[in-house]
Each structure stands twice: as structure tokens, then as C-alpha cells.
Chain A
Amino acid sequence: MTQERLIKVEALTRVEGEGGLFVRLVGNHIEDVQLTIFEPPRLFEALLRGRKLEEVPDITARICGICPVAYQMSSVHALEAALGIEITEDIRRLRRLLYCGEWIESHALHVHLLHAPDFLGYDSGIDMAKDYPNEVNRGLRLKKHGNQLLEVLGGRAIHPINVAVGGFYRAPRRDDLTALIPDFEWGLQAAVETTCWLATLNFPDFTRAYDMVSLVHPDEYPMNEGRVNSTTGTSWDVRDYEREFHEEHVAHSTALQSSRGERQACYHVGPLARVNLNRDRLSPTARRVADDIGFETPCLNPFRAIIARGLELIHAYEEALDILRTYRPPTIARIKYEPHAGQGCAATEAPRGLIYHRYEVDDAGLVTFAKIVPPTSQNQRQIEDDLRDYLPRILTDDESATARQCEKLVRCYDPCISCSTHFLKLTVQRDG
């Protein structure tokens, strides 16, 4: 009789999400892989119903402590679409600056403290710091720059409060932003060093025929708007997102899982998808570094997403510097509007990938419907699919070693259920 093995990961622990991993094998054949997410539903969409639309950005910012900007800006853009608000170029640049801050703090942390230890043989960034203090110090300093930018522009580093439908409650003073320039000039060089260092890491030889999806904008690297493109060559207007991309509930997850098209296929969102689809719109220094380190696109090795994050770190610094150096406080910080009934949607790029929001409001300006699709729910099915493919290559009788390899693959996606240290507790049930 063929022996059945159950590999169960009890708890993937982190504030942003709680989950585990379940693998069922018969012999060495993988019967089932489930990324189990058991965090209680947070019900944000229901919470928003009946609220004034002005409250939405501050509420949606609370969805995530590491990428609040993506949530609040997606909601703002969707609500502005619903109300027919057109913002000025000055406001638009300030919003991109806010995105740069978030990408810097998120990517710097993930690259240096959460993901690099996987490639260097450490259990955590804290352990890695003993042997790589310069790299970890650099990462902390870069993260701090991102937080500082969010503080100046958003009012505070975590859950910014200065973002409003129509613009900003208050435009930052020029001196406050220009004071950041010396640090950001240092940061740009440090981001280059980081990316060159990341390119020297040893990556598992694992590539897949991914369907990678990200926003694409004709003139700029995608952050706050664009069309939804796939590496398969398809492109959609954001208003058609829900026709192509679907969410469904699966029994083993309290997070909805996304899939694409009639085949309900998985797809991959995040920095690797963005770089693959937008390499020519990276900033000049990021493009040059990508060439110098021989980063070939399309890159279909998920482990190399850490390099894509490095390239985006460079891009964010370079774009931020451009905005900081030319900033003049806008004459109008917020476009006025009158509430009226309408519906609108928007997609932006969170550090972890594409994020989609849709809202309906009534004549009183109250939210009557809200839909939020975060990046991690879109990647969830892809992660399971990756693990099915990856497990046969790494499966051994040593379940803890197998679990560690699985963790490394999961962390490539920087999901809100990963953890920098041991987030997998592995138990194996053997029948017979």
C-alpha cells in the first residue's frame, strides 16, 4: 500500500494575515497543496458601506500597515472616477511621490531583512545582521527614508492621514521636502549598491511559464494608473477588470482567491510582473543597472523577484528625487467636488502587486458598495501552483528542510502572510 504523507504547516504568523500550509502526498506524488489562510475576515468592504466617501481613504489605509498608501490611493482614484473628479498634474506628482515613499520603505525592508536571509542561509534578518551589518544598516536607513517621506507628505509614516478625495488636505511645504534631498541622493546610490549585491546571490534554478499581470502606462513606470496587461499579450481597460479577473471562496482560506478567465487560471502580480512588462519605463539608472547586472526580461524565476524589487527601489529613489528637486507647492491642494451618485473603479500598484478597488456612492456621498482586491489574494493561487511544481524538486524525508524550502518560495511573493523568521511549523502525519 502506498504511504500517504500529510505535511501540515500549522501557523503562518503575522499581523497582516494568518495562515498555514497543507501538503498531502501519496508516496512522492503530490495530491494537494493548500495555502491555508485562517485569519478572521476583516470585513472592510462591509465596514465601508454607509460611510461618507471622505472617510474611505483613512479607513482603507488601515487594511495594511506596510502598504497603506496603495489602499488609500486606490480608493481615492476609484472614488474620483465615480465623481468625475480630474486632479491637477501637481497633485498627481505628489501622489506618485507618496507611492515612491511606500515602495522604498516596503522594498527596503523586504529585500534586506525578510528575503535576503533566505539566500544567505540565515533564519532571520536579525541573525544575518551579525555577518552582514553593513547591508542590514543600509536597509534600515533606506526604510527610514521611505518613512520620512510618508511623514512629510502623508502626515505620518504608518496609515497616512493627509490623502483626500480630490488631492491632499494640505500640500507639504517646499522646505520640508527639499530637506530630504541629501538623504535621497545617498539612498539612490545605496539602492544601486543593494541591487548589485542582490544580483550576486545564488538563485534556485526554477522557472515557470507564468502569466504575469501588472499595470502598464505609456509614459511612466506604473504606480497609480494604467491598463491591466498580461505577459500573454492581452490588455484590458481597468473598467473591464472584473470581467476577466474573478474572486472565489475556497474552503481552506478566509481570503478570497483570484483567478483569470474562463479557465480560472492563476496569475502572478508583483515587482517581477511589473519589471517584465515595464522595463523600458524604469528610470534611467534602474535600466542601466538592470543591463549591467545582466537582468534578462522576461524573467520567469520567482526567486529573482528580489532583484526586481531592487530595481524598483532604484526607480523610486530616482523618481522621488526628480519630484523633490522641482517641487513647488501647488496653488490648489485639493479639487472641490459636490457628492453625487456614481460608481468608479481604479487599479494601482502596491509594493506586492496590482490592487483593484470599485465603489458605488449615492447622492448624499455615502458608500453603497465597495470591492477591494488586494495583491496577496491574487497571488494566493499562484503560490499554491508554484509549490505543486516546486515540491517534487525539494521533497525529502526531512520535513523541516522541505518546509524551509517552501517558505523561501512563498516569501518570493512578499505576501502579507509571510514572516522573516520561522513562519512554518511543520508536522507530518504518516499513515500505516
Chain B
Amino acid sequence: MDDSEQSPHGLIKGQCQHDAPASGRSQNHSLTRRTGETGSRLVVGIGSPHGDDQAGWLVASELQRRLVSPSETLACRLAKSPSDLLDWLEDVTHLIVCDSYDSPTELGELRLWHWPADRLLRTRSSSSHQLGLLNVLDLATNIGRLPSRVEIWAIGGGRFSPETEPSPLVREACQRLAFQLWEGFPRA
């Protein structure tokens, strides 16, 4: 496997097959507006301040901006580490995770997996104290915290140097994804 195709948080592109074709600028995302749908949604953007690794944060921040008042059915949070998720899952019925993946040839492309995504490659965590996203989802499953519906959105990135700005294409993709997610959420 090419190490370059790995998110800092353990999300692997490589040989992975995404469940739904979500790349491209006019893809059909899986979220559709479902009025009357019950339960609580949580959107988690995983990221860091480093270049395109901000992608997850950008999506969640944009949704937070649109969410002008607190909602009982939708929450958006920014995570520095996938394990932050474990603290936020209570009463969540639908989890949406947004993270970047490292693939300069797919800059700004979006990929979507539905958990459990058996074809996502499990990788060894790079640290005993830092669990990758897939490890965290496995752990959440095993301790009974994971909601029944989990989607993982990955945004292709190409530069992850410390403290750099995200690529314009990644910014665009994040805006697009945030808009699509927002449009897909049921309205009161």
C-alpha cells in the first residue's frame, strides 16, 4: 500500500472501495431530505490546522455556521482525534464523519462509505495512545456506543504541511459537501 494515500487519522484510500460513487463535482450523495425522520444526527469533522487536513473541520464549521440556533436533532463538532467521537455518541442515531484522505491526484474529490465498511482497509494504529478512525469505530461498535447509521465522508487532499492553508479545490469540496449534507437534513 502506498503510504501517501493515508489520512493522518487512519483513513485509507489505497485499495479501498467506496460504497457509493461520491467523487466528482456533481455526485449524488446518499443523504436525502427525510421529513419526519426522528433521532439525533451528529456531524463530526476530524482534522488539524495543517493544510488539507482541515477538510473535516471546514465541513463541520460550515454546518455549524448554518445551524444558527441549537438543535435537538443535529449537532456538528470538530475533532482533533477520532477518539473524540467516543465521548459524543450518546443518543446519536445517525453519525456522519468527515475526514480528509491523502491523494494528490484526487484533490477535492469526495468519497463515501457506509459503516460497517468491510472493504475499508484496517491499518495498524501508529500509536498505542492514538486510535485511528476505523479503530475507534470498531471500538465504539464493541462497547455498544455506535449508532446504527454511520457514514464516512472523505475529502481528497494533497498538502498537509504544518500550518498551511487548505488547497482551493479542497475548500470548494468542503463547501459542496456541507451544502449537500445540509440540504439532505430534514427540516422542522
CB contact between A418 and one of B128, B144, B145 (< 8 Å): that residue: B128
Which of these, A129, A158, A419, contacts B125 with CB under 8 Å?
A419
In chain A, positions 105-163 with a C-beta closer than 8 Å to chain B are 109, 114, 125-127, 129-130, 133, 136-137, 140, 144, 158
Are B142 and A65 in contact (CB-based, < 8 A)? no
Within 8 A of A (CB), among B109-142: 124-130, 135, 138-139, 142
Beyond A126-B138, A140-B86, A144-B87, is A114–B128 a contact (Cβ under 8 Å)? Answer: yes
Given known pairs A136-B139, A136-B143, the reply for A13 and B129 (CB within 8 Å) is no
Flag if B144 contacts A133 (CB, 8 Å).
yes
A13 touches B124 (CB 8 A): yes
Judge whether B124 and A133 touch: CB under 8 Å: no
Does A421 lie within 8 Å of B139, measured CB to CB?
no
Contact between A15 and B143, CB atoms less than 8 A apart: no
Interface 0/1 of A395-432, CB less than 8 Å to B: 00000000000000000000000111111000000000
Can you name the residue of chain B whose Cβ is closest to the Cβ of A418? B128
Query: Contact: B139 with A419, CB < 8 Å?
Result: no
The minimal Cβ–Cβ distance linking B149 to chain A, given in whole angstroms, is 21
* Partner of A14 from B86, B128, B144 at Cβ < 8 Å: B128
Interface size in chain B (residues, C-beta < 8 A): 18
Q: Which residue of A lies closest to B138 (CB)?
A: A126
Chain A residues within an 8 Å CB radius of B138? 126
CB pair B139–A422 under 8 Å, yes or no, is: no
Q: How far is the CA of A13 from the CA of B129 in the complex (A)?
A: 11
A237 at the interface (CB under 8 A from B): no
B127 & A14 in contact (Cβ 8 Å cutoff): yes
Complex contact B124–A421 (CB within 8 A)? yes
Alpha-carbon distance A368/B64, docked complex (angstroms): 47
In the complex the two chains form, is B129's CB within 8 Å of A126's CB? no
Please report whether the interface of chain B is mostly helix, strand, loop or mixed according to DSSP: loop
Given A15-B130, A126-B138 in contact, is the A137-B124 Cβ separation under 8 Å? no
Asked if A104 is at the interface (CB within 8 A of a chain B CB), the reply is no
**Interface pair B126/A130, CB less than 8 Å apart:** no
CB neighbours of B18 from chain A (8 A): none
Q: Assuming A133-B144, A144-B87, is B126 touching A13 (CB within 8 A)? A: yes
Of A66, A129, A418, the residue contacting B143 (CB under 8 A) is A129
Complexed CA–CA distance, A319 and B126 (Å): 33
Q: With an 8 A cutoff between CB atoms, is A16 at the interface?
A: yes
Given A126-B135, A140-B86, A158-B80, answer yes or no on A420-B128 (Cβ-Cβ < 8 Å).
yes
Known: A126-B138, A133-B142, A136-B142. A15 touches B127 (CB 8 A): yes
Pair count A-B, CB < 8 A: 52
Residue contact A422 to B144, C-beta cutoff 8 Å: no
Q: How large is the interface on A (under 10, 10 to 19, 20 to 34, 35 or more residues)?
A: 20 to 34
Q: Check A126–B130 contact: CB distance below 8 A.
A: no
Q: Which residues from chain B contact A423 at a C-beta distance below 8 Å? A: 128
Q: Which of A1-55 contact B (CB under 8 A)?
A: 13-16
**Contact, CB under 8 Å: A137 / B126:** no
- Contact yes or no, A15 B124, CB < 8 A: no
Residues of A close to B128: CB separation below 8 A: 14, 114, 418-420, 423
Closest residue of chain B to A125, judged by CB? B139
A405 to B143 alpha-carbon distance, docked (Å)? 27
Chain A residues with CB under 8 A of B143: 129, 133, 136-137, 140
Q: Residue of A at shortest CB range from B129?
A: A66
Distance to closest chain A CB from B76 (angstroms): 20
Bound Cα distance A140, B84 (Å):
11
Evaluate contact between B129 and A15: CB separation under 8 angstroms. yes
Nearest A-chain residue to B86, judged by Cβ: A140
Chain A nearest CB: distance from B57 CB in Å? 16
Nearest B-chain residue to A417, judged by Cβ: B128
With both beta carbons as reference points, the residue of chain A lying nearest to B145 in the complex is identified as A137
Q: Which interface residue of B124, B126, B128, B145 has the most chain A CB atoms within 10 A? A: B128
Taken together as a complex, chains A and B put the C-alpha atoms of A293 and B89 apart, in Å, by 35
Q: A130-B142, A158-B80 are in contact. Are A16 and B87 (CB under 8 A)?
A: no
Interface residues of B (CB under 8 A from A): 80-81, 86-87, 124-130, 135, 138-139, 142-145
Interface residues of A (CB under 8 A from B): 13-16, 65-66, 109, 114, 125-127, 129-130, 133, 136-137, 140, 144, 158, 418-423
Q: List 9 A-B contacts (CB under 8 A).
A: A14-B128, A15-B129, A65-B130, A66-B129, A126-B139, A126-B142, A137-B145, A158-B81, A419-B124
